[in-house]
Amino acid sequence: MKKLRKISLTIVGALALFVAASFATGNGYLVKSLLFNFADVDDFKKFDNDEVTTGTPQPWPTASQYNKAQLPTDLAQHLDSTETGALLVLRNDSVVWESYWDDFSKTSLSGSFSVAKSITGLLIGIALQEGKIKSIDQPVADFLPTFRGGGKDSVRIRHLLTMSSGTDFSESYINPFSITAEMYYGSDLEGTALGVEMETVPGTLHRYKSGDTQLLGLILEKATGQSLASYAAQKLWIPMGAEQKALWSTDESGGRTKAYCCFNSNARDFARIGSLMLHQGNWKGQQIIDSAWVRASGTACMINDDIGKPCHYYGYQWWVAPDFPGVFYARGILGQYIIIIPSLNTVVVRLGRIKSPVWQNQTPALIYKLMDWLPTLP
């Protein structure tokens, strides 16, 4: 018994030293990273958040055939096996099908993870049309003066949009000591995002990097003089008539917004983003985003990727489905999707806890199954 107690005290002492050392060296994020282990859809409860406020709500109309269709067996099994929480189908600007599982509902908030990247990309387009950003070929250093030296001066906003910045940011979701974990759990987003070094010439290699989107977020906050949540409310949530305020997580109270992740909302309000893109940036007669920006967002950048082939699956912070011409989508790590299908005048939102497999061409299994079912809807 004494030996066991001694071992226990040793372990507790070691943990206490680790915690103290982590915070003393400015690496307190390691404690959170090890404690929480992996991201979940309700992580906004662990973080500080800014509110994305609403104006006058514009509820979605429901179609005459609302929820009268039957899910095919293979799609239903897929949704169940991937722990789907919400599935909403918007067709011809009306909700034609929706369902919720577990603790998800029409009003429950859920983390969207990298769907936030696509929202950040839209805000860059709006800032550009407002003249707050002169051009996407403007150097990042124009907004972030310390982002200089070692080749950083050559990085343009365009390179961040297409994730071809050339920085050494390493996208790792398992390693608790990674820069990804530091951005997610740390309290110095700006310092972490700016601390990258250059590996390749900007614009020559597409490699998925959350750090590129975080730099876009910092640029937006400097260019607009607003937090991302405030700017998103003013330019998106209020004019689109969102029914519920959203939350956008920050690194600390009053701190920097996690631009690459952590926009928290519900399926019905996420569908507004999809509808805006479906209608080429127009919301009920109001051109919120330039149609050219929408087209560029959903057009593959064709910059060589890690296997030496042109990237035919990523545009300006939006994914492209190569097997289905015209289809593009926002995607989060746990299978959060906003899918735009122009040929069917349809938007699909899926929220949940497990991502569906991705084929070699980067098209998720979910889209294949949806594209078998959606044309049969009344």
Q: How many residues does the chain have?
A: 378
pLDDT of residue 180: 87
pLDDT of residue 7: 41
Which residues contact residue 276 at a Cβ distance below 8 angstroms, ignoring those fewer than 6 apart? 122, 236, 240, 282, 283, 288, 289
pLDDT of residue 14: 33
pLDDT of residue 37: 55
Q: Which residues of 356-367 are buried (b: 16+ CB within 10 A; e: fewer)?
A: beeeeebbbebb
CATH domain 43-249+259-376 topology: Beta-lactamase (3.40.710)
Angle at CA of residue 309, ends 157 and 137, nearest 5°: 15
| Amino acid identity for residue 261 in this structure | C
Domain-wise residue ranges, the chain:
43-249+259-376
pLDDT of residue 109: 97
Number of CB atoms found within 10 A of residue 287's CB: 12
String of DSSP letters for 292-326: HHHHHHTS----B-TTSSB--SB-SS-EE-TTSTT
Give the CA distances from residue 171 to residues 208, 317, 342, in Å, rounded to whole numbers and listed in that order: 7, 15, 31
pLDDT under 70: residue ranges of the chain: 1-37, 173
74 vs 368: CA distance, rounded Å? 11
**365-373 vs 73-81: helix crossing angle, rounded to 10:** 150
25 vs 375: CA distance, rounded Å? 57
pLDDT of residue 266: 98
pLDDT digits (tens, 9 = 90+) for 7-52: 443 433 333 333 333 444 444 444 444 444 578 999 999 999 999 9
